[in-house]
Structure 1
Amino acid sequence: MSSPPGSDISRLVSIIKAAADNIESFYKSDPKKPSVPSLDDTEPHPLDDGVYPLEVKHSLQMLEGACAQLCTNLARPNHTMLNIFEPACLGVVLRARVADVLLDKPAGVPVAEISKHCGVESRKLSRVLRTLCSNHIFREVSNNVFANNRLSIQLVSSTPMWSLGVHSVDEPNGRAALYLADTLLDSEWGASYAAEHSPFNRATGYPHPLYMFFEGVPPKGAEQGARFAKGMVGWNEAADAGAIVTGYPWDKLPPGSIVNDLGGGWGHIAMQLYKQYSNLILKLQDLPERIQQAQKDVWPKECPEAVADGKIEFKAVDLSMETPIPNCDVYLVKSIGRHNMTSDLALKILSNTRNVMTPTSRILINEYTIQSTARVPNNEAKFNQAPLPLLPNFGAGRIRPHYLDMAMLTQLNSEERTLEDYIQLAESSGLRLVKVWDLGEAGLLELAPA
């Protein structure tokens, strides 16, 4: 029997406080060094080599369990799922579509029946599900009877999160991660930044960059590429990609201001901007096949009034070779920091855009920006730093940019950029940094003509 959610929160906080107090008292009772060790210590604490008393072990278990459960209770479910994708157990339930079997069965389903539907031996499946239940994914209603919960419902196969999960744990990406060390230690590939020298290439023997594989070279890659594209919808939803719509002062722009969404696919952000700020004129530019999809399929279905009102213009562009529509007030740029985007190509795109800007135009780069874990004086910081004793980049609280950086290294031999990287790109393109807008996860860099 579950308790009301509100009471759970205060109970968890109390458990965390009591457990932390118990562990702190244990450290302070040591006669040789009566203090809690700092994370900065490199010398062992006298208690590090000893066997913790049972009550201290229990306190640590309660502390770890309560912290994880508190975060899980308070965060959106897709936020939590994005943080805890792991290959073994989730790979089983995703590919076996266990959440689908449990759909609309709140009383739960015996594992033997689940086994019949998904083809995994029941005793082994029970072990997998119980491991996930311990991490609050699925719910064990009674012994070996399992049901969906707030997290596992994200794994139903019709959701973008299912596609993202399978992409994360399935080949070629899951196997590629195992080859990261081999690739980095290789005398030739380790120093290379060529897109075809990634752990993905080493793991699969595929001689070209991953994005070519996803584009259907060979054909089997096209299916995974389509799944990846749907998975990125799940990522963007969980990572609050739409925060750009509310995190930037669009309402302060003069009526009739022109916003050009460059490389925005079918225009997810542009559509949100239209619905919230009807005084903006929108342009959507991307590769021809994406613009064709947006113009013929997506916008007429999802936002026909924008098309009818003439508030949206579609124009294909290859940003690596062509300049965008000139004289726009804002150029919104995504994906200039990763995937197959080398520094030379990013520089070319920014330079081409700079060439068509007016003196008052702005470029907004909406990207993850890697932040150092080294603290600087607040008056020198360009980011909001987390308060002490947290790491200034919020540590595990903002771990996803670093996970994504490792994914780029593993899959494409590329990287997420630091703010210093972006400033260097901007200055080389005749631009200057105006402001860093903190959107909570992905940031927004505002650039103006230098």
Structure 2
Amino acid sequence: MTFATLRALQAIIGDAIDEIYAAYASESRHHLGSPSPPPSLSSSSSSTPPPSPPKRHRSPTPPLLSLSHSNHTFSSASHYSSSNAPIPPLDRDALLDFPDLDLPGDPSSPAEQLTSRPDVANAISRIVAAGSQLAVIVRSPFLTICDATMIYHLPSCLRFFEASHIPELLSAAGPSGLSVIEISASVGVDSVKISHVLRLLATHHIIREREPDIFALNRVSALLDSGRSFTECRSAPVKKYDSEYGGVAALAALNTDELFKASAYFTDALLPSPDMNSKRTNLTVIAPTAFNLSQRTTLPYWTWLETPENGSRLARFARAMAGTEGWMGASDAELSFPFPELAEDALIVDVGGGIGSTTLRLAERFPKLRFIIQDREPVCKLGEDAWDIHSPALITSGRVRFQVHDFFKPQPMHDGDIRPAVFLLRVVCHDWPDVLARRILLQLRRAADEGTTHKKPTYLVIGDHLLPYACTSAKVSELRIQEGMEGLRGACWPLLANLGVASANAYWMDMTMQVTLGGQERTLPELRSLAESAGWRLIRVARAEGSLFAHVVAEPGPLPSGSALGTPFPSVATLAVEDGEEEIPPAIRERGATPVMDMLGAARTLLRARAGGKKGSTGDNAWVRWMQRKVYADENDARRASTGVAAEKNVPTPSQGVQGRGLLKKVSQYFGEGG
């Protein structure tokens, strides 16, 4: 049967290429029939404006319950056999060609814009899925394992490539490229080392080696060019991300820096070695994320970003979020239902909205709506500065404003207690494990208008990757009856229902959330369960063709019983300081060990705090030992001595004791105030 599988994959690739060719040929005829044919892809003339982008064909947003039936059915390979009438070939010079991998792309060109048209994007995904699956089938399993276990060198080399500003150097050099000797003279790194780094990238088609030791940008690496000069980047590295094209470079830098380092500690966080749980280095109070282990810090990621020494990383993170637009596709501009249907002056609250990249697109698309962008104070300050430069009119008119808010706390009053028409949570829920994401959703549910016969309710729009299962089956009926196995359009046998490697970005992001924040991307059943646990009922799901990034719309449903918000940990609810407990309840103290849920969703044990919380008690020592592991304490002291910056907050010194109640307070603060 293996040869049958190989032939089926070969047919999928061939049919998909035929579909792409037909789309480009059809578009070529469209342009040939217009009075002003577009310039060729290689044209560099600035006097001839590019034509308008092709009109997008968007299918209506399907209801949630029909997601597994209409556009997302699991098809047979024969469905994609070339049944359409062949299009007569065009003259080679007249044909609009697919973008060339060896040349930097022009995002405004018809050839590049056509790649995101739904039918073309779907065909591209099938080619990637089938090609990667075919390669794994025929290749030696040992070599596949070697590639998988040594792929860590790729982000390492990419980080050097971006941080040394080589993309800007090569951009200025043009198609002829530069020799490693010339690159070395500018960067200040040995030319042999540079050549080996760039050759690994060229081997993965990220850059082009034109001749031995002469490299040039291609369609992939050109995305890392910020548009600034090499000199500007060297003099102000962080500011290069503020440029119009700096978002993707910021995203690459973020992914290959602290996120890459955190991933290396994933197993250590899930399966701590015996010595980590020894009496000397007790970790039973809370389990840190892989990020905490990699950075030797007890601070949650968001708090760590806001420390003075990480100011540049915070600014980079904000710009990196703008660089994620490539995940969403064209439909993200209006985020689907319900925005086109909202009344004039309706209020949209962008919860955890960062510097407001999503709000900016919505405000431009819907000029009669009003917006509030909520986030932590340092992020709001960055956003206000950015809007003052790029869109000051929207701020001065009052249509858009920033609001400092912790989304774990109740929503503030809005304009005389007018309830928002929409709460927007874009790339927020995936930051948190279910127990904390539920807490965010509960706060929004309590502030939502349930609506009436004549009045629309407050809608919740969640923007995150929605993960299908990675199953494969030739029987359509088996897939239709199981929610979460809805697959993607074109996922025909023998492809995986999630289109395999073609959808890998979403699964990479899932692991990124786990190692950094203890969060996760979710399957449809997981997201439905989470929403319903917080009183929201899912009604629609929409995602662009070729992308797993989804916009899930919910409306208020019944509030579940027992939806107290005092603490993110139900098992220690009576211990939360913010609930007003003045001391540890005797019943809890007598139980000895209390189970809690850590940021990775695993059960841990909270050690017993002795009566009176005396210094030197079990709970005190457990917390202090974990917080002051030798390597962390040494590094913190060294940083303080060398920079004069005070030690991180909440790190007790050896001379300080932590009362039993203080132990619980720190657990609550560590998880409950990181929003």
* Alignment TM-score, normalising by the size of structure 1: 0.73
Check whether the contact 2:262–2:290 (CA below 8 A) recurs between aligned residues. Answer: yes
Deviations 1:133-168, CA, capped at 9 Å, x for gaps: 232223233332222233222233632323322332
Q: Distance in 2 between matches of 1:288 and 1:181?
A: 34
1:298 aligns with 2:386: yes
Change (3 A) 1:209 1:446: same
Q: Does 1:205 align with 2:264?
A: no
Q: Are residues 1:174 and 2:285 paired?
A: no
Which residue, 467, 471, 475 being the options, matches 1:370?
467
Do the aligned residues in 2 keep the contact of 1:195 with 1:414 (CA within 8 Å)?
no
Match of 1:415 in 2: 520
CA contact (8 A) 2:334 2:365 kept: no
In the alignment, structure 1 residue 120 sits paired with structure 2 residue 120: no
Q: 1:328 to 1:199 in 2, by over 3 A?
A: closer
Whether 1:160 aligns to 2:247 is: yes
Is 1:139 paired with 2:208?
A: yes
CA contact (8 A) 1:287 1:318 kept: yes
Higher relative contact order structure (alpha carbons within 8 Å, sequence separation ≥ 6): 2
The question of whether the paired residues in 1 share the 8 Å contact of 2:467 and 2:548 is answered with no
Q: Work out whether residues 315 and 382 of structure 2, in 8 Å CA contact, stay in contact via their aligned partners in 1.
A: no
Match of 1:271 among 333, 353, 360: 360
> How many positions carry a matched residue from both structures?
378
User: In structure 1, what is the Cα distance between the partners aligned to 2:533 and 2:465?
Assistant: 20
- Aligned residues of 1:384 and 1:438 also touching (Cα < 8 A): no
- Is 1:99 the counterpart of 2:167 in the alignment? yes
Change (3 A) 1:379 1:259: farther
Amino acid at match of 1:404: M
Cα displacement (A) at 1:377 = 2.9
1:214 aligns with 305
Query: Do the aligned partners of residues 336 and 233 (structure 1) sit closer, same or farther apart at CA in structure 2, a change above 3 Å counting?
Result: closer
Summarize deviations over 1:374-429 as a string: whole Å, max 9, x none.
36533654655343122112211111121011122222333223322322222222
Work out the CA distance in 1 between the residues paired with 2:322 and 2:349.
21
For residues 50-88 of structure 1, the C-alpha deviation after alignment (integer angstroms, 9 at most, x for no partner) is: xxxxxxxxxxxxxxxxxx969x998789999xxx99323
Q: Secondary structure of 2:430's partner?
A: coil
Alignment of 1:392-431 (within 5 A): 392-431=497-536
Q: Give per-residue Cα distances to partners, 1:8-59, cap 9 Å, x unaligned.
A: xxxxx99x759xxxxxxxxxxxxxxxxxxxxxxxxxxxxxxxxxxxxxxxxx
Hey, what's the Cα distance between the residues in 1 that align with 2:294 and 2:391? 43
- Computing the radius of gyration from Cα coordinates, the structure with the larger value is 2
Residue identity opposite 2:373 in structure 1:
L
5+ unaligned residues in a row in structure 2: which ranges? 1-9, 16-99, 106-110, 125-150, 227-239, 241-245, 278-282, 452-456, 473-477, 558-675
Q: Measure how far apart 1:434 and its partner are.
A: 0.9
Q: Could you say which residue in structure 1 is the equivalent of 2:83?
A: none
Question: Are 2:458 and 1:361 aligned?
Answer: yes
Closer, same or farther: CA 108–199 of 1 in aligned 2, 3 Å: same
- Aligned residue for 1:103, secondary structure, equals helix
- TM (normalized to structure 2)? 0.50
Alpha carbons 1:378, 1:385 under 8 Å: kept:
no
Match of 1:282 among 363, 371, 378: 371
Superposed CA RMSD in Å reads 3.7
Change (3 A) 1:398 1:253: same
Match in the other structure for 2:271:
185
CA distance in 2, matches of 1:305, 1:194: 50
SS of the equivalent of 1:305 reads helix
Contact 2:539 2:553 in 1 (8 A): yes
Q: Report SS of the residue matched to 1:102.
A: helix
Aligned-residue offset at 1:449: 1.3
Does the 8 Å contact 1:242/1:269 carry over to 2?
no
| Distance 1:139-1:307 versus aligned 2 partners, 3 A rule | same
Q: SS at the partner of 1:377?
A: helix
Could you say what secondary structure the match of 2:429 adopts? Answer: coil
Which residue does the alignment assign to 2:548? 441
Alpha-carbon offset, residue 116 of structure 1: 1.5
The 1:240/1:117 distance shift into structure 2, 3 A limit, reads: same
Secondary structure (helix, strand or coil) at the match of 1:434 reads strand
Q: For the residues of structure 1 that align with 2:217 and 2:193, how far apart are their CA atoms?
A: 18
Asked if 1:333 corresponds to 2:425, the answer is yes
Q: Give the partner amino acid of 1:429.
A: A
Structure 1 CA distance, aligned partners of 2:502 and 2:420? 36
Contact 2:101 2:220 in 1 (8 A): no
Task: Tell me if 1:346 matches 2:437.
Answer: yes
Label 1:385 to 1:173 Cα distance change in 2 as closer, same or farther (>3 A): closer
Match of residue 320, structure 1, among 390, 408, 424: 408
Q: Provide the residue aligned with 1:246 in structure 2.
A: 334
Alignment-mate amino acid for residue 345 of structure 1: L
Partner of 2:399: 311
Superposition pairs of residues 4-83 of structure 1, within 5 angstroms: none
- 2:472 paired with 1:385: no
Q: In structure 2, the residue corresponding to 1:322 is in which secondary structure?
A: coil
The Cα offsets for residues 253-287 of structure 1, whole Å up to 9 and x where unpaired, read as 33333322221123222221121122323233333
Kept after mapping to 2: 8 A contact 1:96/1:118: yes
**Does structure 2 retain, via aligned residues, the 8 Å contact 1:426–1:433?**
yes
Per-residue CA shift, 1:147-201, capped at 9, x if unaligned?
223322223363232332233223x4333323323333326889x9998522233
Query: Match of 1:44?
Result: none
CA contact (8 A) 1:101 1:114 kept: yes
Gaps of 5+ in 1: 1-12, 19-67
**Kept after mapping to 2: 8 A contact 1:362/1:446:** yes
